[in-house]
Amino acid sequence: MGQAKKRSATDGFGHKVLDEVRFLKNWIDKPLMTGAVAPSSPQLARLMASYVDPERPGMVVELGPGTGVVTQALIERGIAPERIVSIEYNRDFCALLRQRFPRVPFVHGDAYRMGQAIAGHVGEERHPVAAVVSSLPLFTRPLPERTRLLDESFARMEPGAPFIQFSYALVSPVPHGATRFELERSGWVVRNLPPARVWIYRRRG
């Protein structure tokens, strides 16, 4: 007999439709901040999570969790909820996320002030950050801010650890050469509205 599929915090038709409505409403109110008309598809979220190595010690920092589709994919990837620290600017999304994932520490704050937001979660004495997984709409910010975000992340990571970002654009949200990193990109995920791809930045040794 086949095993029943375990339900996730973001499963179900009702959830999906409600999340789409929430996104659309927030996008109408704050298009630049929300950055998308709909949540990412599970396919895109799983692809992002696939670049996180669950064996690498340290916290996984998530930026812009929205309604939690990437958070869910990280947990399914084998990252314990307590190992994630997730920063979301939207107060309503934060309240929803805390209900959905009670074991994940969500910080209501600005991801571009990452140090401030994760202080107390990622202590100096612990391991460096294992990965940063970002769904932020980076193109709505000037390039120096994007570059600073990447540099701030790399300062907390060991060489080789990934900063993972999705985008709908043809070009990298942080141009290669703007800072010292190695760049990898995925193929297009067509089962996403609109199609998107994943960019992986790694600090050089």
Binding site for ligand SAM (CB under 6 A): 33-36, 39-40, 63-66, 69-70, 87-90, 93, 110-112, 135-137
Nearest to 147 by CA among 90, 84, 70, 201: 201
Return the number of the residue (112 or 158) whose C-beta is nearest ligand SAM. 112
Amino acid identity at 200: I
CB of 117 to ligand SAM, least distance (A): 8
Return the number of the residue (63 or 150) whose C-beta is nearest ligand SAM. 63
Tell me 117's DSSP state: H
> What tokens were used for 71?
């958070």
Buried b / exposed e over 45-78, threshold 16 CB at 10 Å, is: bbbbbebbbeebebbbbbbbbbbbbbbbbbbebe
CB of 28 to ligand SAM, least distance (A): 13
> What tokens were used for 33?
């901040």
Tell me 173's DSSP state: S
Q: What separation, in Å, do the N-terminal and C-terminal C-alpha atoms of the chain show?
A: 50
Q: How far apart are CA 97 and CA 88, in angstroms?
A: 9
Return the number of the residue (54 or 137) whose C-beta is nearest ligand SAM. 137
Quote the radius of gyration of the chain (alpha carbons, Å): 16
CB of 5 to ligand SAM, least distance (A): 21
Return the number of the residue (63 or 189) whose C-beta is nearest ligand SAM. 63
CB of 83 to ligand SAM, least distance (A): 18
Return the number of the residue (66 or 202) whose C-beta is nearest ligand SAM. 66
CB of 178 to ligand SAM, least distance (A): 19
